[in-house]
Amino acid sequence: MKLYIMRHSETDWNHQHRIQGQTDVHLNLNGMKIAAMAGDGMKDIPIDVCYSSPLMRAQETAALVVARNPHFVESGSRIILDDRLLEISFGVWEGRDGSDSAMGIDREQFREFFTNLSSDFCPEGAERPMHVIERSSRFLDELISREDLKDRNVLIVSHGFTIRCMLSRFHEDLEQYFRKSDVLYNCQVALAETDETGKLVLKETGKLYYDAAHAKNYYR
């Protein structure tokens, strides 16, 4: 089984550096363009199954990618939505301008929340990072246990922090891993596959299937 784990494409909130979390924001025009380019770049990969977060920016990205995949289209497959792929909720912080200049003294507190698993701080109404690690891990464990998908190519479209949580399973020191605030660029892909024992192995992170000149580091 090969997993192509893709971050959703660009939204206006990405461009404005606003904290999205589980707020349902659509792709902007540039996001549609990038997702289409990523789909064109992946068209020769026979995608058998596609899972997506229910949030529209992920659904729209997934739809634009698989619409350009002849194998997926001809198979009559449909995008499968799974709540375990939702982005982390930032609670009352959602919608705020997350840039350093706008957040002021709150910036360090915000950074601590999603880079320090031992932090006691949690914005009102937010989801704890450990919960995202647990739900995303359950999704992957269930997926790789399925015999019917053993030799399949699976596209998973999710979100920056949730993908970091998914990839955390490949790192022994979680505290050190999460201290780095890096996330995939929009429509960037992490590639993982199961080995002969059924264990999931990370093969590559940060793969682009479109022109790198269009890639921007919107980390929320």
Q: pLDDT tens digits, residue range 17-76? A: 899 999 999 999 999 999 999 999 999 999 999 999 999 999 999 999 999 999 999 999
pTM, to two decimals: 0.95
The amino acid present at 60, given as its one-letter code, is E
Residue 202 burial (CB count, 10 A): 16
- How many domains are there within the chain? 1
Residue 201 parent element (H or E): strand 200-207
126 found inside a domain: yes
Please name the residue ranges forming H helices in the chain.
Answer: 12-15, 29-41, 56-66, 70-75, 100-103, 106-115, 129-144, 160-167, 174-179
Residue 219 in domain: no
At 69-101, the pLDDT tens digits run 999 999 999 999 999 999 999 999 999 988 877
CA distance 67 to 52: 14
**Residue type, position 22, single letter:** Q
Residue 64 inside a domain? The answer is yes
Other Cβ atoms less than 10 A from the Cβ of 192: the count is: 23
- Does residue 157 lie within any of the structural domains? yes
Residue numbers of the domain that contains 124: 2-214
